[in-house]
Structure 1
Amino acid sequence: MSTTSSEGLTWPPPTTAIIGFDVEAINAETADHSHVDAGVFEQRFMVLARASEGQLASGWYWLSGAVGLLLRPADQGSPWGPRYVGEGWRMPAIEDFLPQAGVFETLAAQLDHPGLKARLADIAWTNERHRGAAGRCAIDGYVDSLDRLLDGRSRPRYGEAEGASFEALGFAQRALQLALRLTGKKKTDPAARDAFLRLYGRAVTDRAVTVFGSAAALARYYDLVPALDVAADLEAVARDAPDRFDPLASAQLLGHAAHLHLQARDEDASRRCQVERVSTILKMVDQVSTSGAKAHWVQSALHALRGIRGQDEWRRSLRRDLRDLQEDALSEFVMMTVPLDLGEERREAFETFAQLDLPAALKALACIGRSQPVETLREDALASLDQFPLGAMMGTRHSDEDGRTAANTPSGDREDPDEDWLKQRINESERFRRQIVVQGSFDPARLTLSQRHNIHERHLGAIVSRSPFVRWEQQGLMALGFTRLLQGDDQSAVHLLVPQLEPCLRHVLRVADHDPVVDFDDMTEENVSLSAMLGRLRPQLEAILPPATVLELELLFDFRAGSALRHAVAHGRIGTGGCHTTEAVYACWLLYQLTCWPLLRTWDSITAPAIREQC
């Protein structure tokens, strides 16, 4: 089955074997080893495809698609994926290359460039697992690529790090994965093991905090370094972290060290790391300027302090600090305007985001639209009574996907307008603006991002983990959801992100000292629902978030005569097509905007460097 790409080309191309491909031509085109990431050749191969004819053109086209695949070793269930999935088209997927598995295995063995060798061999083995020689060739290519990064013969494609980089870690992790699947044992492939240990040691020496955090997890997963040695290294790197890393990165290492000590039944060492972790989290208070953000980090420290014996007085002191901050934590999520002229045309959005690096683009993505003032929306809705008096005289029946009546809205009345009627009219008019934001700005922006950068969960994690909008326990879900959203996987994004609105709103209410619970006669308590937060607790929410945003959240997530996305996702009432609607995609983007809002004031000094450390 062919799908049309964003460039108007057909993918996959006609299935013709690449017989007699000029290996010398490929080696000549890839002789530059300054980068070992094969993705650097994607555009070069595409240019050659367009300049060639017949089977030669098809071969270059296949190679361009192969190096453009997104490899994410951290996702062991689905390590290969398209960089972007659009409506009616997508970028190449791993299964497209099944007809070329044998050709790629033969070709890989003859190539000089280690990254391209590993890429083609890995694709061949992934599609046909009986090709053990291809798997072995891929391991050799990944090890060679890693060593070139470690000794400086090559440099990472993204970021400024040399030596211990996430690119090198990706090569090491994929080599270990292939070795495990080829042998069935974690310790039997010396090449993959020794390459990883070289990277591990370099990450410790360089004090590469973020890279070492992931390397430490791999060291334990594959049982390559004793647990207590990893714990000691985690503590050393956390305590001696370079100034470019914020305290949160060190706190994550200390949390991992505490867990390892606890597994070894050394409770004193675990408690020591836990206490140090809390102190490190509290350093984030000085990294932010607003009371709401400070309250978020104090609350995060209190969460980390739970279960640590002998810290009652510290816990009481932090609660007092939290209450003082909560009294000042009003209007902290007000939108900060960032000058960004996207215009109304998709072309302008493409051009704008093509000029930005990843941190700047992720910041700009949060500023491509904003909720409209409630007063303006109400006035426009009432004005429609004069413009369309006949339609306003009639009530509206709203049906669900099975044709049953889901809601009724009454007719309009200028003198005494019904609130549901007003919301229904506002929601109808807002659909046009949301369509402009999604189709005119967001879609071209995320497509440009996916073409220029390999978006990984860790990039979005650097944003989510620092946002006062996101509760500690939801950070992983939000980071993964935003990653899938930027990759065009709207189905996954909607089901990951929509349910997170409720805990996020509870979190910001608690930060502002409003506990969203309901008490029962039997002395039990229960969290209030989204409807209750948007209803009974609306004044408290509107003291934290702009009223226009609260209204938009209600119309998108809870209004029965609207999308009611929260209900639709929670009860499985949204189908595949529903995940790709403008309303659903806009709702996910709005959650991204809310996550970014509190970070915009300090984005360039705190968030942007954290994102760059993940590149």
Structure 2
Amino acid sequence: MTDADLEPVSQEHVQKNLPFWLTATLDDIQAVAFETPIGDCDSSDCGVLSTEFSKATDACKQRNDPASEPDARVFAMLQAVTNFHFRPTDRNAPFGPMMIMGDRRSAMPEDFRGDPIAVLSYAAANSKNPVLRARLADVCWLLERKRFQLGRIAISAYLDVLKGLAEGELKERFGRDEPLLGLAARDVLRRALSIARPIGWESEEAVAARTLLVDIRTLAATQGNPVPAHWFFEMDLDFGISDASTIAGAIEAYLLSGLVEPGSHIIVELWRLAARAFHSAKDEQGKYRCATAAAEALVDEALKHSSAMLGSHWLSEAISEYHGIPGKKDRRTELRHKLIDVQSGIADEMSSFSQPMDLSEIAAEVEQQLDGLDLLDALMIFADLEQSPTPEKLSEDARRSISEHPLAALMGASFHDEDGKVIHKSPGGGFGDGDNLGAVRTAIAQQESIRRSIHAAGQVLVARRYIVERFYVGEDTFHALLRHSPFVPHDVLATYSRGFARFFAGDNLTALYILTPVLENSLKHILKLNGHDVSTFDDARQVQEDRTISALFDQMRPELEQSFGDALIADIDNVFLSKPGPSLRHGVAHGFLNDSSPFGTDAIYAIWLIFRLCCVPIFPQREQIILPT
């Protein structure tokens, strides 16, 4: 993607100066053989089509021939539409900008309201490539629901994509042996069913899509890989295509068939899905049976880990899974005793998150170090691009700076918000007084701001761009990664996955507002795993309440440092809580951030820091993690 692909978000600017990819007219599209650039393309990935249209656009521009201008305008428009970020699980907003950089972004569906819809509609009706036809018809129907015929064309085109995958005419990006069980098939089928609901559930296209899902789900149940089985069983249940009791029975039979290798964590998710299906079928005994199996699978997961932190995490999950299942009180008590035994080893194991890895070359040459790595290793390197400085080093560097530049510490400092209000004051010290805590704190804040800026702009953004240009990074990627992390409680796994997926898509705003609040939840979760009580008791009202994150840092800092190490705790404090500093937790909680704040280096660093907190405990578990491909 080039700077030319990014346009200002401001609608006022769009109205005054249309981006080139919005200038094609109906006359242009009717006069141009618009599928010429993708004539030999056999990919099921719209991103590949976008690349070909981009090359064709550049070639037309380079000819500098007025006769080529209509071709360039048409190819540019098709490149923009095929370059959307595809989110099939979001029924109402399945497409978004591929990249957002500050106040600039790439194309999104809303840009094509009005006259461009006529251009896209013509192309949809006349396209031969099913991948392009599906995208064009889907976008037109999404923007104008009255064009229901285009919705039907979209469903049929998505089914043609699936047929092309099955017959080998279209290739999946990752080249699976069974392409109908891949990510491409999963995403286009879910999107086809999402359109079918409002278009007409009993229409010919909808019935064909529903039948195909049942066929693919049945196929998945004959394979040893439980991941696609979970995808398509869940899709069937989500759309209510098969009877819930049928789905529940099929999942249970699949798990008991011996096809699935024991020890895969996705087994837990399948048992949970079976319990959900039995609950929908009002079969409480089946629900309890499958929930029990899920709990025991979690116990098995805990027992196979040598790490006390990971073992206690999975045991806690197992105890929680048993909640509400009748007749399991003794088993819950047994697991609680086992949990206490395992937790006794956590203090020694998790006193520090430091890793015996030299990352100096990675920090200096990020792209060179990421070159050739698979997605999992790239994400692990991304999480370990930087290590938080210890409080001792921060203080030492601050005192040295004060000694070298004494005038900077001589007078007090005031810190103001954008409205001019004083939000923090730092008292002045003596001449070159490195022992003045206020001056030291101010120097630390200034130095940390510089360090965060260098790290965010020079490493995090470079690594993020490198990863998203080479890999598909979606919510399921982070779901598969973070479910191994004791820092991420199971009941907010989807929340964390959504937040990091939005960050890697360039949507810092959504990511920051999702991830900042759940940080507090995870800190409390780890303290609980370490056997600490994070609640307070109000004698007057006789009620218990959890401490806020500020209270945790004020009243339980030694416990936090014991669990995470003093360097990480100081880093969290400096970024999210303390003043002077960005104090992002306060800004997010009270809505004090402006629209540009999430795209600043402090916010980028904050999101990266949360990702590091999630990933550090699972670095030793690298070989046990399998990401969807």
Residue type of the partner of 1:476? A
What's the CA shift for 1:102? Answer: 2.1
Partner of 1:466: 484
Contact 1:465 1:475 in 2 (8 A): yes
Partner Cα separation in structure 1 for residue 105 and residue 483 of structure 2: 30
1:392-403 matches, cutoff 5 A: 392-403=409-420
Contact 1:23 1:107 in 2 (8 A): no
1:66-465 matches, cutoff 5 A: 66-98=81-113, 99-158=115-174, 160=176, 162=178, 163-183=180-200, 189-240=206-257, 247-330=264-347, 331-332=349-350, 334-338=353-357, 348-350=365-367, 352-353=369-370, 355-412=372-429, 417-465=435-483
Contact 1:298 1:318 in 2 (8 A): yes
Partner of 2:558: 539
Contact 1:164 1:211 in 2 (8 A): yes
Query: Deviation per CA, 1:333-357, whole angstroms, max 9, x where unpaired?
Result: 6132555566667xx5455546433
Partner Cα separation in structure 2 for residue 265 and residue 201 of structure 1: 23
Contact 1:247 1:283 in 2 (8 A): no
- Pair 1:23–1:353, CA change in 2 (3 A): farther
Residue type of the partner of 1:259? R
Contact 1:288 1:602 in 2 (8 A): no
Residue type of the partner of 1:68? N
Partner of 2:548: 529
What's the CA shift for 1:211? Answer: 2.6
Contact 2:268 2:297 in 1 (8 A): yes
Contact 1:83 1:451 in 2 (8 A): no
Instruction: Verify: 1:17 aligned to 2:25, yes or no.
Output: yes
Query: Deviation per CA, 1:217-242, whole angstroms, max 9, x where unpaired?
Result: 33233321001011012223334475
Residue type of the partner of 1:511? L
Instruction: Verify: 1:507 aligned to 2:525, yes or no.
Output: yes
Partner of 1:600: 619
SS in 2 for 1:482: helix
What's the CA shift for 1:32? Answer: 4.3
Partner Cα separation in structure 1 for residue 546 and residue 449 of structure 2: 31
Instruction: Verify: 1:591 aligned to 2:610, yes or no.
Output: yes
Residue type of the partner of 1:148? G
Contact 1:296 1:468 in 2 (8 A): yes
Contact 2:85 2:98 in 1 (8 A): yes
What's the CA shift for 1:301? Answer: 0.9
Instruction: Verify: 1:45 aligned to 2:60, yes or no.
Output: no
Query: Deviation per CA, 1:417-468, whole angstroms, max 9, x where unpaired?
Result: 3545433321210111111111111112222333333432111111222210
SS in 2 for 1:205: coil
SS in 2 for 1:46: helix
- Pair 1:237–1:514, CA change in 2 (3 A): same
SS in 1 for 2:21: coil
Partner Cα separation in structure 2 for residue 188 and residue 60 of structure 1: 30
Residue type of the partner of 2:111? D
Contact 1:446 1:487 in 2 (8 A): no
Moved more, 568-577 or 286-295: 286-295
Partner Cα separation in structure 1 for residue 75 and residue 605 of structure 2: 37
Residue type of the partner of 1:417? D
Query: Deviation per CA, 1:469-497, whole angstroms, max 9, x where unpaired?
Result: 11222212111111111111111111111
Query: Deviation per CA, 1:228-261, whole angstroms, max 9, x where unpaired?
Result: 0110122233344756785321111111211222
- Pair 1:402–1:295, CA change in 2 (3 A): same
What's the CA shift for 1:279? Answer: 0.7
- Pair 1:185–1:422, CA change in 2 (3 A): farther
Partner Cα separation in structure 2 for residue 12 and residue 287 of structure 1: 57
- Pair 1:349–1:159, CA change in 2 (3 A): farther
Instruction: Verify: 1:563 aligned to 2:563, yes or no.
Output: no
Unaligned ranges ≥5, structure 1: none
- Pair 1:260–1:418, CA change in 2 (3 A): farther
SS in 2 for 1:518: strand
Partner Cα separation in structure 2 for residue 417 and residue 237 of structure 1: 67
Structure 2 residue corresponding to 1:63, chosen from 67, 78, 81: 78
* Higher RCO (CA 8 Å, separation ≥ 6 residues): 1
Contact 2:406 2:433 in 1 (8 A): no
CA RMSD of aligned residues (A): 2.8
Q: How many residues align?
A: 607
SS in 1 for 2:197: helix
Query: Deviation per CA, 1:565-612, whole angstroms, max 9, x where unpaired?
Result: 111111122221222221111111100011011111122x122x2x1x
Residue type of the partner of 1:498? T
- Pair 1:174–1:244, CA change in 2 (3 A): same
Partner of 2:534: 516
- Pair 1:32–1:281, CA change in 2 (3 A): farther
Contact 2:28 2:74 in 1 (8 A): no
Partner Cα separation in structure 1 for residue 52 and residue 204 of structure 2: 39
Partner Cα separation in structure 1 for residue 235 and residue 595 of structure 2: 36
Residue type of the partner of 1:230? I
What's the CA shift for 1:4? Answer: 4.5
Contact 1:295 1:322 in 2 (8 A): yes
- Pair 1:594–1:187, CA change in 2 (3 A): farther
- Pair 1:550–1:48, CA change in 2 (3 A): same
- Pair 1:529–1:14, CA change in 2 (3 A): closer
Partner Cα separation in structure 1 for residue 470 and residue 7 of structure 2: 15
State the TM-score, normalizing by the size of structure 2. Answer: 0.89
- Pair 1:210–1:12, CA change in 2 (3 A): farther
Partner Cα separation in structure 1 for residue 3 and residue 32 of structure 2: 32
Contact 2:28 2:71 in 1 (8 A): no
